[in-house]
Amino acid sequence: MSSELLEQQLEARDPDVRLMIQVRDDVQGAFEVLVERYQHRLVGILGHLVGRKEEAEDLTQEVFLRIYRARKGYRPRAKFSTWLFTIANNLALNHLRGKGRNPSTTPGGDGSSSQERALAREGTPSAQMRQVELSEVVRDALDILGEDQKMAVLLNKFEDMSYSEIADVMGRSEAAIKSLLARARNHLREQLEPYLKTGQRGA
């Protein structure tokens, strides 16, 4: 398939590719729409990866800055989200290497998602407590994974990406991603099973 035909197909299928082409062509307001569409999703995933919300927000700004700087050379080769999360993954890994691979957390900077907070506000007080605690248990379980496993799980569960899309983001083969996710799910199951059986942390 020619690159021109691929671009046409991607533009027809992916509204975010069309939006990025508008950014490339300096259509007024297009970049702001793009930021609004992906900002919270990026902060959520990067928050899980780097451990601090403030750092996740800084990295998210850097992702958008790189996209804006690269806009004139943009030629779609895959879904827009694949390109965006490839940039985010590379930035996060470089950031963690620079820190010596030690994600840290601070109060209010745990990378918890707006969906988790919204769920925690619903229902009875005991249901709220259980939801907040379950969110913490899931985050703790994710933290035992290596960066590659964690990124693969986050893209698969939060972004609903296929194995092939995750492989593109992470520069791996599809078979490697399947293996990575299988190991990650086993680790997560081992960590979460005691809590799901008893409802108690560390049981």
Contact 88, 59 (CB under 8 A): yes
Tell me whether residue 93 is in a domain: yes
Count of CB atoms within 10 A of residue 97's CB?
10
> What range does the domain containing 6 cover?
1-101
Q: Given the structure tokens 């930021």, which residue do they identify?
A: 35
Would residue 107 count as lying in a domain? Answer: no
If one counts every other C-beta atom within 10 angstroms of the C-beta of residue 57, the result is: 16
The residues, any chain, with a CB within 8 Å of residue 74's CB and separated by 6 or more, are: 20, 21, 23, 24
Q: How many domains does the chain have?
A: 2
Q: Are residues 138 and 75 in the same domain?
A: no
For residues 75 and 6, state if they share a domain.
Answer: yes
Note whether 195 and 143 are same-domain residues.
yes
**Does the structure show a pLDDT above 70 at 179?**
yes
Question: Which of 69, 101, 133 is at the close of a domain?
Answer: 101
Residue 162 within any structural domain of the chain: yes
Which residues, 6 or more positions from 199, have their beta carbon under 8 angstroms from its beta carbon?
130
Q: What is the CATH number of the domain that holds 53?
A: 1.10.1740.10
CA distance 115 to 118: 5
Question: What pTM value is reported for the model?
Answer: 0.72
The string of DSSP codes covering 34-82 is HHHHHHHHHHHHHHHHHS-HHHHHHHHHHHHHHHHHTGGG---SS-HHH
Residue 106 lies in a domain: no
Shared-domain flag, residues 27 and 77: yes
Domain presence at residue 2: yes
Q: Is 46 exposed, middle or buried (0-12, 13-18, 19+ CB in 10 A)?
A: buried
pLDDT digits (tens, 9 = 90+) for 46-98: 998 888 889 999 999 999 999 999 999 998 888 899 999 999 999 998 998 88
Domain assignment present for residue 66? The answer is yes
Q: Is residue 74 in a domain?
A: yes
If you average pLDDT over residues 105-124, what whole number do you get?
43
Give how far Cα 98 sits from Cα of 6, 22, 24, 93, 101, Å: 37, 35, 32, 9, 7
User: Is 199 in the same domain as 173?
Assistant: yes
Q: Do 82 and 132 fall within a single domain?
A: no
At residue 30, the pLDDT reads 96
Task: Please say which residue of 101, 135, 163 terminates a domain.
Answer: 101
Are residues 200 and 123 part of one domain? Answer: yes
